[in-house]
Amino acid sequence: MFDPTIFDNLKVGIENHVYDLDTIEQLVQVTNRKDQIELSVMSRFFSIEFQLLNETKTKAQIILQSTVKDLADEILNVQGTSPGTMILVRFSREIKEMKTCEEIEEILTTIWNPEQPLKQNLCFQYGDPNHTYINTIDILFNDKINEEHMSDIPTLVEHILKSLRELNVLI
């Protein structure tokens, strides 16, 4: 019988919680979902992207990644290892001025109090007459997570919802 990995269990927990917010509570709309196996390095990748219902300015994404080493350590039960899954929370939105990055950093730092600095990447389309930027904001976590963190999923998602509400207010 197939024994699900840490990655699989966390993926299902996150998916269930977000889809409940979409279909049952109707607070969010899921806009994209990816579940990939990278065969060249035998890694796993999962992401689910969503936005607040009727609010299209800002999207959030929860990303899980697991390496072949983490999967092997878990499946082979290698002693002295701590298998787990990396997690990343990502927000993306269009901004008109770079000074908005400072406001975004202040909002997200207040909500998340991250261990590492936020990472904001701006990109723009050359020749765009609107002169807008797409800002992608990553909240990185130092430690891998495992099934012991399953009860943290509702709190994680609540932080994301609060972030979406506050980021959507920005011009």
Report how far residue 43's alpha carbon sits from residue 169's, in angstroms, rounded to the nearest whole number.
37
Share of the chain above pLDDT 90, in %: 85
Question: Which of 103, 96, 158, 162 has the alpha carbon at shortest distance from 130?
Answer: 96
- Domain contains 161: yes
Domain holding 145, by residue range, is: 6-169
- Domain contains 1: no
Report how far residue 122's alpha carbon sits from residue 101's, in angstroms, rounded to the nearest whole number.
9
Identity of the amino acid at 51: Q
Strands, sheet with 133-140, edge to edge from the N-terminal-most edge strand: 28-38, 43-52, 58-66, 86-95, 133-140, 119-123
Report how far residue 5's alpha carbon sits from residue 170's, in angstroms, rounded to the nearest whole number.
40
- Domain contains 69: yes
Question: In angstroms, what CA-CA distances link 131 with 40, 95, 98?
Answer: 39, 9, 11
- Domain contains 111: yes
- Domain contains 106: yes
What's the pTM value of the predicted model, to 2 decimals? Answer: 0.93
pLDDT tens-digit readout, 26-74: 999 999 999 999 999 989 999 999 999 999 999 999 999 999 999 999 9
The pLDDT of 135-147, averaged and rounded, is: 95
Q: Which are the contacts of 11, defined by CB distance < 8 A and separation ≥ 6?
A: 35, 46, 64
Structural domain count of the chain: 1
Q: Assess contact for 30 and 42: CB atoms under 8 A.
A: no
CATH of the domain at 84: 3.30.1460
